[in-house]
Structure 1
C-alpha cells in the first residue's frame, strides 16, 4: 500500500499521513527508528504540541507524558502509544470546544 497523492487524498487521509510523517520525523534520530526515545518525545512535544501541552520543556511534564504513554514500560513510545496521545488530546480539545461553545453568552 502506498500513500495517496495528497492532492487526491481526502482531508482525513491527509491527516493520517501527517500523523505518520510527524511521528517518523522524530523517531529514529537516536536508537530504534520506529520509536520515540525520551529526548525525541520531548523534541516532538515541544515543536508539535506546544500550544496544547503548555511547557513541554518541563522535565517533569515530559516524564509524566512518557510514563502515561509507555504502556509496555520499555522506555520508548511506539507509534500506537503516540496515536493514543494524539487521540486523547483530540478528544480533550473537542470536549473543551464543545463546552466553550455551549456556554451562554452574557448580554
Structure 2
C-alpha cells in the first residue's frame, strides 16, 4: 500500500475535525456557534487565550460567518485555518532569525 503524504494527511485531518463537531445542533455540513466553541475548546485551547470566553467565540463567529447565515461552513472554516497556518509560519520565521 502506498504511504499517504504528510500534506494529504493534514487535509484529511482538517476535514475530519470539522465533521467531528459539525451537525450536532443542525446542518451536518455547518458549525453552529456552540459547535464552534466546542471545537475551539477541544482542538485549539493551547493556541487561544481563553477558548471558553463567549466574547472570543462571538468575535470568531462574526468574522468567519462570511455569508451571515449564523453558521460556519467548511469553506469559512478553511479560511480560519489558512490564517492560523500563516500565523504559525510567521512565528517560526521570526523565531529562526
Moved over 6 A (4+): none
Q: CA deviation at 1:41?
A: 0.1
Residue 90 (structure 1) aligned to one of 79, 85, 96: 85
Q: Give 5+ residue unaligned stretches, structure 2.
A: none
Match of residue 105 from structure 1 = none
With structure 2 as the length reference, what TM-score do the two structures score? 0.95
- Please tell me whether Structure 1 or Structure 2 has the larger radius of gyration of its CA atoms: 1
Q: Does 1:56 align with 2:51?
A: yes
With structure 1 as the length reference, what TM-score do the two structures score? 0.86
Q: How many residues align?
A: 97
Q: CA deviation at 1:10?
A: 0.7
Q: Give 5+ residue unaligned stretches, structure 1.
A: 103-107
Match of residue 41 from structure 1 = 36
CA RMSD of superposed structures (Å): 1.2
